[in-house]
Amino acid sequence: MSKSNQSNWDVIVAGGGPAGFFAAIRCAEINPDLRVLILEKASQTLGKVLISGGGRCNVTHACFDPAQLITYYPRGGMALRGAFTRFQPADTVKWFEEHGVKLKTEADNRMFPVTDSSETIANCLREAAKNAGVKVHLGTSLLNVEKNPQGGFRLEVMKEAKVLSIQTDKLLIATGSDSKTREIVRSLGHSIEEAVPSLFTFNIKDPRIAGLAGLSVENVTLHIDSLSQSGPMLITHWGLSGPAVLRLSAWGARILFGRKYRSFLTVNWLGDYKLDAALEVLQHSKDWHENARRKVSAQPAFSQIPIRLWKQLTQFIGDKNWGDVSKVELRKLAGELTAGEFTIEGKGQFKEEFVTCGGVNLNEVDFKSMQSRIVKDLFFAGEVLDIDGITGGFNFQSSWTTGWLAGNALAAADAT
């Protein structure tokens, strides 16, 4: 390849997001002789990093065991198993520290830059790319890719309303959830799993939670069919949110999409309590002599249920005292507390993090190099793949890991 021709590159990375940057930096740091170019369609790179984690960027999660780490990925966990033995959150922490950024761990194991600013992460990646000699073309959109018969690729890109042609020996696609690029990937022979949203809140209109926005319960268990998730839950103006809901939305992303986001949801407000155990506690409350003349609605039998919620969950009993509650009512209340039925009527947006599931079929990618098994010298990293994690830093981690692996392979003389 002629090094004098400006439109010829050794490596082109389509997509200036975290996966693309990580790959380009790694590749250029290992092999400084290579001419590496990032194409970014927007007017700035790393747009999602900047808005991530409520402006703080939840970079990764303090989970350092690959076997456990993969359990946080509703899709792609198995494929990532080996990849995480090569680059996992401990390596992410080390990488950022070596590039001048210290991360801290919060009580729930999410990791953020100590500055609490996503700009720290974006600036670090831009600086590292610049230092490694990576070039970035902004406002440049990948339109089409053709494989050259003699090797390498001819790309058509759009810049300032002009279509330009660029040659590259190797191509990494790291364009996230962009649907047009997924079509390009399909045209190269890959199959694509349909994109559907993951990580969303549930819209529920129900008198039992009406007017309680802002109230949270420490540990609930939620079920949709055979799927279940436990953890904190938050009541919102529109329905339900919080870690348990977001996790269930990720695992149930395809089921709920298929149902147009209308589904039954079972809520156990008492976490892992079974009906009989709850009934026993309720019976005890009824039998306790001091309670006999106290209103049920004013005297929660379980400390984890806030009084305002308790009042609404027990409304069907009316104004009765504990002493006057019938056995049937007590059993009904135990059922309400351990398996309350709600109807999801739509999905809301989780503003701190939004990801889609779907993307390039993982069987068609070699997870040691992130190279396509179908087209030589074509690579993938990040959200363009059919991988998504629950909330907590797992989505960035899969971008760092797949980007790093792709960077190694792109730098090698021949990745086959």
Of the listed pieces 176-184, 282-290, 335-343, 368-376, which binds ligand FAD according to CB under 6 A? Answer: 176-184
Among 23, 34, 36, 41, binds ligand FAD (CB under 6 A): 41
Q: Does 386 bind ligand FAD (CB under 6 A)?
A: no
Using CB under 6 A as the binding rule, the residues of this chain from 179 to 208 that contact ligand FAD are: 180-181
Count of CB atoms situated within 10 Å of the CB of 186: 12
Which DSSP category does 362 fall into? G
Residues in a beta bridge with 305: none
- Write each residue from 61 to 100 as x if it is in contact with ligand FAD (CB under 6 A), else as -, in one continuous string: ----------------------------------------
Numbers of helices and strands, H then E, in the chain: 13, 21
Among 84, 310, 367, 396, binds ligand FAD (CB under 6 A): 396
C-alpha 65/C-alpha 88 separation (Å) is 8
Nearer to ligand FAD, 114 or 292 (CB): 114
C-alpha 288/C-alpha 301 separation (Å) is 11
Nearer to ligand FAD, 336 or 388 (CB): 388
Q: Does 136 bind ligand FAD (CB under 6 A)?
A: no
Q: Does 253 bind ligand FAD (CB under 6 A)?
A: no
**Are residues 253 and 247 in contact, defined by beta-carbon separation less than 8 angstroms?**
no
Q: β-pairing, 378-380 with 162-173?
A: parallel
Of the listed pieces 1-9, 41-49, 274-282, 299-307, which binds ligand FAD according to CB under 6 A? Answer: 41-49
Among 8, 30, 47, 366, binds ligand FAD (CB under 6 A): 47
Angstrom CA distances, 314 to 60, 311, 325, 335, stand at 41, 5, 11, 11
Smallest separation, CB 369 to ligand FAD (Å): 17
Q: Does 174 bind ligand FAD (CB under 6 A)?
A: yes
Of the listed pieces 10-18, 189-197, 280-288, 340-348, which binds ligand FAD according to CB under 6 A? Answer: 10-18
Task: Report residue 175: phi and psi, to 5°.
Answer: -95, 20
**Are residues 35 and 134 in contact, defined by beta-carbon separation less than 8 angstroms?**
no
Q: Does 152 bind ligand FAD (CB under 6 A)?
A: no
Strand stretches in 28-139, DSSP E: 36-39, 60-61, 103-105, 110-113, 135-137
Among 31, 120, 141, 221, binds ligand FAD (CB under 6 A): 141
Contacts 24+ apart (CB under 8 A), 256-262: 256/224, 256/344, 256/347, 257/196, 257/197, 261/203, 261/344, 261/345, 261/346, 261/347, 262/343, 262/344, 262/345, 262/346
132: three-class secondary structure by DSSP = coil
Q: Does 14 bind ligand FAD (CB under 6 A)?
A: yes
Among 20, 197, 231, 358, binds ligand FAD (CB under 6 A): 20
Of the listed pieces 81-89, 97-105, 327-335, 350-358, which binds ligand FAD according to CB under 6 A? Answer: 350-358
Of the listed pieces 15-23, 71-79, 231-239, 288-296, which binds ligand FAD according to CB under 6 A? Answer: 15-23
**Are residues 403 and 173 in contact, defined by beta-carbon separation less than 8 angstroms?**
no
Q: Which residues bind ligand FAD (CB under 6 A)?
A: 14-20, 39-42, 47-48, 51-53, 57-58, 141-142, 174-176, 178, 180-181, 352-355, 382-383, 393-396, 399
